[in-house]
Amino acid sequence: MDSVETRGSIKTKRGAMFGLDARIALAIFGALSVISGAALYNAIQEAKVVALITEINEIGKAYNSYRLDIGTNVGTLGGAGDPNDEIVRFKDLIESSVSGWQGPYLSYEEDSVNGVGYLKHNGYTSFGLRRYEPSETGPLNSKNKLCTTGNLCSVWIMYMPVSLDIVNAVEERIDGIIDQGKGNVRGFVAGSNQFMMVRIADEF
């Protein structure tokens, strides 16, 4: 017959084993949670990148459809030499009285807060089109990047605010590199906001 001391020892060992098993199980569960969380985060980021690139391609197609129908580039908010000459009339892709117009080419709404150079976007505060010289390197946020008479000009879609990891992921997917000062995807910080610029067309 087991003594009280022996039975107590067995219970203590069983309790210790149960405690160890529980700690191991919790450790495994914790590790799986971290892995699952990282996988979920990566999946969400990938979905955002794919959605953005799809949207960028659609806007590029809309811009080119407008040009094919009208025979000219989309107009800007200012004339040559005017600072607003960099701001493309994004609204013209939604509604216009210009002869030959067969839109709407996009289904966005005009951003009444920011004006005709912007459209409403669920994910970004600033969402518009800008004109810059593609040969320039560096961030496209300074006046020396503006188009000048006689030089090739490109149209860029602008997003703000965008997290840096999204900018890098989009650039890596489109340009094959991460260098915010070169290629078809550029990024820059203004104030506390990260901008992303993506070239969608060259003007003719």
CA–CA distances in Å: residue 81 to residues 149, 154, 193: 9, 16, 27
- Which parts of the chain are beta strand (E)? 126-132, 154-160, 185-190, 193-202
pLDDT of res. 61: 96
pLDDT of res. 76: 86
Predicted TM-score (pTM) of this structure: 0.76
CB 195 within 8 A of CB 141: yes
pLDDT tens, the chain, 204 aa long: 555 455 555 455 555 545 666 677 676 766 666 566 667 778 888 888 999 999 999 999 999 999 999 999 998 887 665 666 788 999 999 999 999 999 999 999 988 888 778 899 988 988 999 888 766 566 665 555 667 655 678 899 999 999 999 999 999 999 999 888 888 998 888 888 899 999 999 988
pLDDT of res. 37: 65
How far apart, in whole angstroms, are the C-alpha atoms of residue 199 and residue 177? 15
